[in-house]
């Protein structure tokens, strides 16, 4: 395959990149890079432009990430925490890391939720009968054995729900809001609270169940699952995602002024927590092996599809990044540690347990990178670090202009699994992909290998490999995340205010 280069940009950024690494950086030369031996002595070639070209050239030629993803998605498939698929994925990734010659390969115990979907169905029963396509939201409680039949009431936001009052009591609340598509994740970010928080908020008002219009961007009558989080102080009611077309049907019937009744049946079961593991492997650093750059994705997936884009792609990017650097003898100053987290989807136990297990090392974790937004073409990185971190990361990422991954943006987080490290001061980076079509298939039965384009996967693997190397090689690490500000002191007591006038309007407090 041909390697796309943007040499003009590389020339203009050469001085900045060189300063980041403490090097006098020569202009990028694809020809010189092509002549460089694959197995140069460790540390012999540490010019960032040359290293980037070698990594990109090797991965675009061999595409070593692809067969890994094909095995994980096609041969192992769904990997929900506590399932046989999750256990098989742990065993296979351990074997792969050892085959690739990595160091300190191990499984680190994580206790995970064990939720099983069971049978699920829904049917419109009034004003006429029709099957509806639903799938239970992760961690939902079941309906009674006979199911739940109730009238539908529709809202498009959590704020609108609050205005329903008694209108929600005894009903099924339908949360219906369009999830818009885009290269970034803003559309999903705007609607995901309806799925995560909506069921508990509906339960507070006396609703008997909740339906959520699927958080998808393709109208293909695919229900999209995803986890909900029950509030401790609210009743637990059954909740399911409804295919977008079916949500729109209910909306039209309600808009016509007709009472709409639905029957919902969910057979979910929550079993005792199960023992599982994060999978860990390392490329040991040549000078400061006790300092660590973490890379990774989450090994679990939802049970509907094969978990190719969410997050098999992120998993194999991390696996292939270590293999590439090992194969090319690009051993950086610090250790690069791949962590394949278990249970991101319905509990995030893997990320939390990793920090607990490595609490004494957190001061020596200099950065963490996560990829969990599919496998389309890379755009760059989002960075959560201390003052100056964005500029420093941008300088390090500059040689990735060749694969379009040099754009760096400041952010509050880098991903769910690495999120717990932020409180320990660890700078966080998220590998950004174009997610225009990611939410077409996200959390559905259509999350399968054919949704991944091999070239784009190779670009992502190369981008992760180079950025991990750059962070581990740079003489100065990124600025650490400053401690969170302490909570504000309570306000001094004031004189009692005059009693408010009592309103006589219906529904007033």
The whole-number average pLDDT for the span 457-466 is 98
Burial of 71 (0-12, 13-18, 19+ CB in 10 A): middle
Whole-number Å distance between alpha carbons of 420 and 425: 10
The whole-number average pLDDT for the span 255-272 is 97
Whole-number Å distance between alpha carbons of 279 and 297: 11
Taking only the tens place, the pLDDT of each residue in 356-382 is 999 999 999 999 999 999 999 999 999
Of these ranges, 39-43, 181-185, 256-260, 487-491, the one predicted with the greatest mean pLDDT is 256-260
- pLDDT at position 258 is 86
- Beta strand pairing call for 269-283 and 365-370: unpaired
The whole-number average pLDDT for the span 210-231 is 97
Query: Is the confidence at residue 94, as pLDDT, over 60?
Result: yes
Whole-number Å distance between alpha carbons of 213 and 244: 5
Catalytic residues: 344
Query: Is the confidence at residue 5, as pLDDT, over 60?
Result: no
> At 46, is the pLDDT very low, low, confident or very high (cuts 50, 70, 90)?
confident
> At 13, is the pLDDT very low, low, confident or very high (cuts 50, 70, 90)?
very low
- pLDDT at position 491 is 59
Helices (H) and strands (E) in the chain, counts: 14, 16
As a whole-number percent, the residues of the chain with pLDDT over 70 amount to: 87
DSSP labels for 320-372? HHHHHHHHTT---SEEEEEEEES-TTTT-HHHHHHHHHTGGGGGGEEEEEE--
Query: Is the confidence at residue 440, as pLDDT, over 80?
Result: yes
- pLDDT at position 75 is 98
Q: Please, are residues 290 and 422 in contact by the beta-carbon 8 Å criterion?
A: no
The whole-number average pLDDT for the span 143-150 is 98
Q: Please, are residues 373 and 345 in contact by the beta-carbon 8 Å criterion?
A: no
Mean pLDDT computed over every residue of the chain: 89
Q: Which residue has the tokens 């994580």?
A: 110
- pLDDT at position 420 is 98
Query: Is the confidence at residue 503, as pLDDT, over 60?
Result: no
- pLDDT at position 21 is 52
Decide which of 3 and 147 is more confident.
147
Domains of the chain by range and CATH?
7-112+273-473 (3.40.630.10), 118-267 (3.50.30.30)
DSSP, collapsed to helix, strand or coil, labels residue 433 as strand
């Amino acid at each position: 395959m041909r390697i796309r280069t943007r040499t003009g940009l590389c020339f203009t950024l050469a001085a900045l990149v060189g300063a980041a690494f403490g090097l006098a950086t020569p202009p990028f030369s694809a020809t010189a890079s092509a002549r460089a031996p694959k197995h140069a002595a460790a540390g012999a070639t540490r010019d960032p432009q040359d290293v980037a070209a070698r990594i990109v050239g090797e991965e675009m030629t061999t595409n070593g990430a692809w067969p890994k993803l094909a095995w994980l998605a096609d041969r192992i498939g769904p990997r929900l925490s506590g399932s046989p698929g999750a256990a098989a994925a742990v065993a296979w990734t351990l074997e792969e890391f050892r085959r690739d010659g990595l160091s300190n390969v191990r499984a680190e115990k994580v206790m995970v939720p064990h939720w099983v979907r069971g049978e699920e169905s829904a049917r419109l029963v009034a004003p006429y009968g029709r099957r509806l396509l639903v799938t239970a939201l992760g961690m939902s409680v079941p309906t009674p054995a006979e199911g739940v039949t109730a009238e539908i009431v529709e809202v498009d936001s959590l704020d609108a729900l609050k205005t329903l009052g008694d209108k929600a009591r005894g009903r099924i609340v339908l949360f219906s809001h369009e999830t818009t598509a885009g290269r970034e994740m803003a559309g999903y970010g705007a609607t995901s609270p309806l799925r995560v928080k909506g069921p508990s908020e509906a339960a507070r008002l006396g609703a008997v169940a909740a339906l959520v219009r699927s958080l998808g961007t393709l109208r293909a009558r695919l229900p999209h699952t995803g986890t909900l989080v029950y509030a401790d102080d609210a009743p637990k009611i059954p909740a399911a995602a409804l295919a977008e077309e079916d949500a729109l049907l209910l909306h039209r019937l309600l808009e016509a002024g007709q009472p709409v009744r639905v029957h919902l049946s969910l057979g979910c079961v929550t079993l005792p927590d199960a023992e599982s593991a994060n999978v860990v492997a390392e490329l040991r650093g040549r000078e400061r092996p006790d300092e660590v750059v973490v890379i990774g994705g989450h090994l679990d997936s939802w049970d509907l599809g094969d978990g190719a884009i969410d997050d098999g792609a992120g998993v194999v990017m991390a696996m292939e990044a270590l293999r590439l650097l090992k194969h090319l003898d690009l051993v950086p100053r610090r250790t690069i540690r791949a962590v394949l987290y278990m249970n991101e989807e319905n509990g995030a136990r893997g990320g939390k347990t990793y920090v607990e297990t490595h609490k004494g090392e957190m001061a020596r974790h200099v950065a963490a990178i996560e990829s969990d937004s599919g496998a389309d073409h890379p755009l760059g990185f989002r960075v959560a670090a201390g003052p100056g971190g964005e500029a420093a990361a941008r300088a390090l990422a500059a040689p990735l202009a060749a694969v379009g991954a040099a754009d760096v943006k400041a952010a509050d987080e880098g991903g769910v699994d690495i999120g717990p490290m932020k409180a320990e001061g660890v700078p966080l980076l998220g590998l950004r992909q174009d997610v225009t079509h990611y939410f077409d298939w996200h959390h559905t039965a259509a999350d399968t290998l054919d949704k991944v384009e091999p070239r784009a996967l190779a670009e992502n693997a190369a981008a992760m490999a180079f950025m991990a190397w750059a962070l581990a090689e740079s003489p100065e690490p990124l600025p650490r995340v400053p401690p969170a500000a302490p909570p504000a002191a309570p306000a001094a007591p004031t004189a009692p205010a005059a009693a408010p006038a009592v309103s006589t309007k219906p529904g007033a407090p």
